Amino acid sequence: MTTRPFKPGRMLFAAAGLTLAVGACQPMVDLRGNHAEADDLRTIQVGLTTKQEVARKLGSPSNISPFDKNAWYYVSKREEHYAFFKPDVKQQQVVEIRFDEEGVVQGVKRYGLGDSRKVDLVSRTTKSRGGEPGVLRSMWDTFTRSRIGKKKK
C-alpha cells in the first residue's frame, strides 16, 4: 500500500472552494424606502402630534399624495435574492398618516405584505402620427445639426 504525500495546495484549494460554496448560499438583502419603526409610530398620537413632529420622528415621507397634501405615506420593503434568481419580497410596510387642515394627525394606518394586490399592467400602446426615423434620417439629422457653441446667423 502506497501513501500519497500531503499537499497543502490541495487542502487550501478545497477550503477556498468550500468557503465560496457556503458564501454563495447567503441571500443578498436589499432594504428600500423609509421604514417607520414601531417605537416611533407609538409616539404619534392622534389629535396631538403635528406634521413637524411627525417629520422629526419619522423623517421625510416617501410620498405625499398629489391629490391630498394632508396624506403622508412611509413606504419600505425588504427583499432577499440568491445569486441570479428573482428577488423575493420578505417584508413590506406602508404607513399612511392623515392630517387635518391645521396639520394635526387625524389617523395612522399600517398596511403589510398581506394587504398588497397584484396589478396587471396594460400592454396596449397609443399609436401616434409618423414613425421612428430610419438610419439615414438619423444620420442626416446628426450631420445637419448646428454645432454646440456655434452662433447662428
- Predicted confidence at residue 93, as pLDDT, reads 93
Q: Tell me what pLDDT residue 121 has.
A: 85
Residue 133: per-residue pLDDT: 76
Check residue 2 and give its pLDDT. 65
Q: What is the pLDDT of residue 20?
A: 66
Q: What is the rounded CA–CA span in Å between residue 75 and residue 87?
A: 18
- Domain membership of residue 127 (yes or no) is no
Return d(Cα 81, Cα 85) in angstroms, integer.
6
What is the pLDDT at residue 74? 95
Q: Is residue 109 part of a domain?
A: yes
pTM: 0.62
The pairing of beta strand 88-99 with beta strand 105-111: antiparallel
Residue 35: inside a domain = yes
Q: In total, how many domains does the chain have?
A: 1
Q: What is the pLDDT of residue 88?
A: 87
In a domain, 44, yes or no: yes
In this structure, is residue 82 part of a structural domain? Answer: yes
What averages of pLDDT result for each successive group of 10 residues across the chain (153 residues)?
A: 67 72 74 88 94 94 93 93 85 94 95 87 80 82 71 57
Q: Output the pLDDT for position 105.
A: 96
* Structural domain that includes position 77: 26-116
